[in-house]
Structure 1
Amino acid sequence: MFESTFKNFKINFNTSNARNSFSSGDIITGHISFDLTKETKITSISMALTGKANIHWSQGGGGKRRRKHYSAKLDFFDLKAAIVQENGAVGKAIKLQPGTHLYPFTCQIPQGDFPSSFKGIHGQIVYSLTVSINRPWHMSKNFETELNFVNHIDVNQPELRAPLSGSNSMTLCCLWCSSGPITMTVSVEKKAFLPGEMAKVICEFSNASSKTATPKVKLQQKQIYYTHNKVHQRIGYRHLASTTGEPVRAHTSDVHSEIRLTIPAASALTISNCSILVNEYMIEVNLSVIAHPDLTVLFPIILCDEPVFPQPPTVLYTD
């Protein structure tokens, strides 16, 4: 039995950042280690570095056979290399003695615009390193570990640093009467954020109605899945975080409010460079009045892996 001979198998990486992440073009170095309980013959130890995306969903009723299934797959790369191989001159297997064995490895992620790692409702993007131990007259034994792959974007793009703003208004109606308008003007200091960062939402409210309105800020995730050529699609939404501001009393105007929303640290990065899977985020600002539709302003934002600093305010100089 393999498990009784090979013990404590580990794949160890030498990473250069605290997040243990890798990106396009990175050279991956590390080593594998294991313990042998007895003398063992192997033909080779090989490795495969892969990046792929796959999506699947089904719809319809009446049991599995009647449900319609949709799926798509993408292979970004599939690289193979040997860590240890038999002596090609004599074609003999290698004898390994009992004890601890350690073998270094090196490989490189290809250059390319590959999407970040992601696991969602109906699909995933996975990068992995698989080590295979091959023995004479035995099936190979595989050990797989996933890599945290990050797609770096240019955080110096002006549109990522610029503030976002929007406004909306409504008038409450009840049968034949109506009240004064409710208005809100909202701004977010920038478009791009880090997971775990706090977003500051600046709100200006006026409530000329006879009812109290309550502001609420939410972070929504939108996942879109496509079959090839985007013939079919499936959209899924997830509510990730929310916070409530101070109520805006009836017959008040020029109410200033600053609402802070923390983006969950475990949030996946934005994905816009994959043909079968898209991951988007938006900050949703609502002003709620009981028994009436919410007044809403939406801000599309981007989650990236590097800090983006807000655009400094314009200073006007006068003589």
Structure 2
Amino acid sequence: MLFDKVKAFVVQLDGASGGAEPVFSGGQAVAGRVLLELSGAARVGALRLHARGRAHVHWTESRSTGSSTAYTQSYRERLEVVNHLVTLLAPDTGETTTLPPGRHEFPFSFQLPPTLVTSFEGRHGSVRYSVKATLHRPWAPVRRARKVFVVIEPVDINTPALLAPQAGTREKFARTWYCNRGLVSFSAKIDRKGYTPGELIPIFAEIDNGTTRPVLPRAAVIQMQTFMARGARKQKRAVVASLVGEPVGPGRRAVWQGRALRIPPVGPSILHCRVLRVDYVLKVCVDIPGTSKLLLELPLVIGTVPLHPFGSRSSSVGSHASFLMDWGLGALPEQPEAPPEYSEVVADEDAASVGQNPFPRLPELNLGLEGPFFTYIQEFRYRPPPIYSEEDPHPPMAVVRPRCMTC
């Protein structure tokens, strides 16, 4: 406006660093200030701040009654998770307050509820948090300033339920019109249910192709968005990561020894909201020519707290050891074996060569992400060294003859 004395009216949040806006979670305090810059003296009726968090879903569906008449059904649901209103400036007399020209700051602070829903933007719904300041003046339009902030609820994957292995088996008898007959079966397994963005999912699978044509195994991480309103559901699925294996020929068998699938930077799982959910699954399938694919889905939870190598090892070592035994990848020895003598492992001619070169070249090991060695190291690379003791904790089962005291 031509005679408007408000030069600037913005909301700022504390905690911004390096140009990045702060991120909050349930139970934290949100602090900031409302900046008001005036070109001249102005009368102000009130300055109010409204913090709001809302989960909202909406979609429409076309319905038909069986005749030519069709109608559109609309579904809408709204959930308030934050609703905080505070007055930053109000005259005691109920009239107006005259502010001098210049820059004015009005600080604010409020506490978030202990449990919130992670910020989310989807096609049929969203979870948004914002702080809105409203400036009331006599004989002047209302000025508003709005600031959006992000909330991420922590999802800790270091729990027994999320550290448990996930596995499944599927089979199908193919019978098509061009004589592609036979049984196709596969099994798939992953070492745990919870992961964080950037991690690798080692996939262990066995594919048996009993048909007369090649089949193609594939794997993908699927994000499922579920919107709920008035007893109805609307779901959207999207592929966020995928890999394609090598074709398995007729009558052949293929084994995935930890095929790695990296999780991209995606939002965490949303599991405890009444109007929307965000779930993830690992889909492993086998494409069979001429018939429908063989499909297996293993549930995933994408968290925000990564795996603790020390705190979670004690809770997951048992399940991981059984995971290795089930897939023939070896298990932990029950009793430590004594190291062999040097003469038993090095021949005379090898010892002479070692004497010439004190640092012999080690053989090259296959430590790629495709083999079981990588998965084994991921679990036991932080294993603490054994406690030093002069006594053998596992003595040999030999009969010890008592000494004669008269000798």
Q: TM-score range by the shorter chain?
A: 0.7 to 0.9
The residue that corresponds to 2:238 in the other structure is 238
- 1:96-175 to structure 2, matched below 5 A, reads 96-98=100-102, 100-111=103-114, 113-175=115-177
Deviation at 1:164, TM superposition (A): 1.0
> Higher mean Cα deviation, 88-97 or 132-141?
88-97
Deviation at 1:160, TM superposition (A): 0.6
Contact 2:62 2:72 in 1 (8 A): yes
Q: Which whole-Å CA distance do the structure 2 matches of 1:201 and 1:195 have between them?
A: 16
> Higher mean Cα deviation, 8-17 or 20-29?
8-17
Deviation at 1:79, TM superposition (A): 0.6
Deviation at 1:44, TM superposition (A): 3.0
Contact 2:51 2:84 in 1 (8 A): yes
The residue that corresponds to 2:252 in the other structure is 252
Cα RMSD of the aligned pairs, angstroms, is 2.9
- Find the residue that maps to 2:175 and give its secondary structure: strand
The residue that corresponds to 1:303 in the other structure is 302
TM-score, length of structure 2 as denominator length = 0.68
The residue that corresponds to 2:264 in the other structure is 264
Letter matched to residue 195 of structure 1: P
Q: Which whole-Å CA distance do the structure 2 matches of 1:249 and 1:3 have between them?
A: 77
- 1:47-58 to structure 2, matched below 5 A, reads 47-58=49-60
Contact 1:14 1:28 in 2 (8 A): no
Contact 1:219 1:242 in 2 (8 A): yes
Contact 1:225 1:235 in 2 (8 A): yes
Letter matched to residue 103 of structure 1: F
Distance 1:268 1:4, change over 3 A: farther
**Greater relative contact order: 1 or 2 (C-alpha under 8 angstroms, separation 6 or more)?**
1
Higher strand share: 1
> Higher mean Cα deviation, 74-83 or 249-258?
249-258
Higher helix share: 2
Q: Do residues 68 (structure 1) and 69 (structure 2) align?
A: no
Contact 1:248 1:255 in 2 (8 A): no
TM-score, length of structure 1 as denominator length = 0.85
> Higher mean Cα deviation, 171-180 or 276-285?
171-180
Contact 2:119 2:127 in 1 (8 A): yes
Would you say how many aligned residue pairs link Structure 1 and Structure 2?
A: 311
Contact 1:217 1:259 in 2 (8 A): no
**Consecutive unaligned residues in structure 1, runs of 5 or more:** none
Deviation at 1:3, TM superposition (A): 7.5
- 1:71-82 to structure 2, matched below 5 A, reads 71-82=76-87
Contact 1:52 1:126 in 2 (8 A): yes
- 1:29-48 to structure 2, matched below 5 A, reads 29-48=31-50
Deviation at 1:8, TM superposition (A): 6.8
The residue that corresponds to 1:9 in the other structure is 10
Distance 1:301 1:16, change over 3 A: farther
- Find the residue that maps to 1:14 and give its secondary structure: coil
Q: Which whole-Å CA distance do the structure 1 matches of 2:21 and 2:163 have between them?
A: 24
Contact 1:171 1:178 in 2 (8 A): no
Q: Which whole-Å CA distance do the structure 2 matches of 1:204 and 1:3 have between them?
A: 73
Q: Which whole-Å CA distance do the structure 2 matches of 1:95 and 1:256 have between them?
A: 72
Deviation at 1:284, TM superposition (A): 0.6
CA offset digits 1:179-227 (Å, max 9, x no partner): 4433222112221222343322222222233322222112222222222
- Find the residue that maps to 1:302 and give its secondary structure: strand
Distance 1:226 1:135, change over 3 A: same
CA offset digits 1:86-118 (Å, max 9, x no partner): 3415844131313x433332111122x332111
Deviation at 1:282, TM superposition (A): 1.1
Q: Percent identity?
A: 22
Q: Which whole-Å CA distance do the structure 2 matches of 1:298 and 1:167 have between them?
A: 10
Contact 2:11 2:133 in 1 (8 A): no
CA offset digits 1:257-311 (Å, max 9, x no partner): 433333331x232222122212211111111133222111101111222113583
Q: Which whole-Å CA distance do the structure 2 matches of 1:3 and 1:188 have between them?
A: 64
The residue that corresponds to 1:93 in the other structure is 97
